[in-house]
Amino acid sequence: MSKVKFFMAQSWLLIVAALLFGVLLAGAQTGLDPFIKANEQKKLSDSMALLITDAKTFELAAQDVEVPMGKKTVLSKVYKGVTESGDIAGFAFVAEGAGFADKIKLVIATDPTFTNYMGYKVMFSNETPGFGDKIKNDYYSQQYIGAPIQRLELTKAGDNLVIDERIVAISGATVSSDAVIKIFNTFGRKVKSQLQTKGVIQ
C-alpha cells in the first residue's frame, strides 16, 4: 500500500470529523455572535455608566484611535459621557493586553480633561480565581481612581489608599497586577495624544 493510501486509510475519519466540526463551530459562532456582541455592548454601557456616574448619555467621541501594541496596531473607540446639561463628564475607551492566563480587556475612564483616570472595569479576563481575578476587587481597582495619566509603576509594598502613579500589587498575583498597569501605560497616553491630534481634547 502506498504511503498516501495508508495515510488516508488511517486518518480519513479524523479529517472528515475535523471538517464537519469546523462547519458546526462556524455555524454556531455565526448564529450566536449577534447575541454575544449585544451582551458585550450592554456590558460596556453599564461599565461606563458605573465609572462616569455624572454622565446621562454616552456618545462616540472618536473611532479608529490607533494604539501601537508591539508589532501590531489596535484600533480603539473612545466614548464621551455627557451630562444632562450637555457638558462632558468624562471619556471611556476599551483597552486590552496579555494577562497571566488569557487576554485582559478593560474599560478605562478618564476625566473630561484627560488628566486623571476615573477608574476601570474588567470586561473580560480569565485570571486565576482567588489570585489574578482580584484585579476586579476594590482593593486593587480603586487605586486607579484619580491616578494621573502618566507612566504608572507597580510596587509590591505601600499604601493602597494613597492615589498616585504607584500602584500596590495584589499579593500572589504580580503578573496580573502588572498586566493591568501595562494596559494603562500602553493605552492611556497614546489615546490622549490621538484625541489631541483629532481635536477632541486640548
Partner 1 sequence: MSQTATPALGPTFTAGLWKENPVLRLLLGMCPTLAVTAALKPAITMGGCVIFVLICSNIVVSLMRNLLKPHLRILMFTLTIATFVTIADLILKAFVPDMSAALGPYVPLIIVNCIIICRAEACASKNGLVVSVVDAIGMGLGFTLTLSVLASIREILSTGKLLEVSVMPSGFVPWAAMGMPVGAFITLGLILGLVNIITKKAS
Spatial distance between the Cα atoms of 122 and 176, rounded to a whole number of angstroms: 12
Rounded least distance, CB 68 to partner 1, Å: 29
If one asks whether residue 138 binds partner 1 (CB under 8 A), the answer comes out as no
If one asks whether residue 19 binds partner 1 (CB under 8 A), the answer comes out as no
If one asks whether residue 11 binds partner 1 (CB under 8 A), the answer comes out as yes
If one asks whether residue 86 binds partner 1 (CB under 8 A), the answer comes out as no
**Max alpha carbon distance in the chain (Å)?**
81
Instruction: Identify the sign of the CA torsion 31, 72, 96, 62.
Output: negative
Rounded least distance, CB 145 to partner 1, Å: 22
If one asks whether residue 13 binds partner 1 (CB under 8 A), the answer comes out as yes
If one asks whether residue 32 binds partner 1 (CB under 8 A), the answer comes out as yes
If one asks whether residue 60 binds partner 1 (CB under 8 A), the answer comes out as no
All three cell numbers of 148: 494621573
- Phi/psi for 53 (5° steps) reads -70, -25
If one asks whether residue 202 binds partner 1 (CB under 8 A), the answer comes out as no
For every residue of 105-147, DSSP letters joined together read: EEEEEE-TTSSEEEEEEEEE--PPTTTGGGGGSHHHHGGGEEE
Question: Applying CB under 8 A, which residues contact partner 1?
Answer: 10-11, 13-14, 17-18, 21, 24-25, 28-29, 32, 35-36, 39, 43, 101-102, 125-126, 129-130, 133
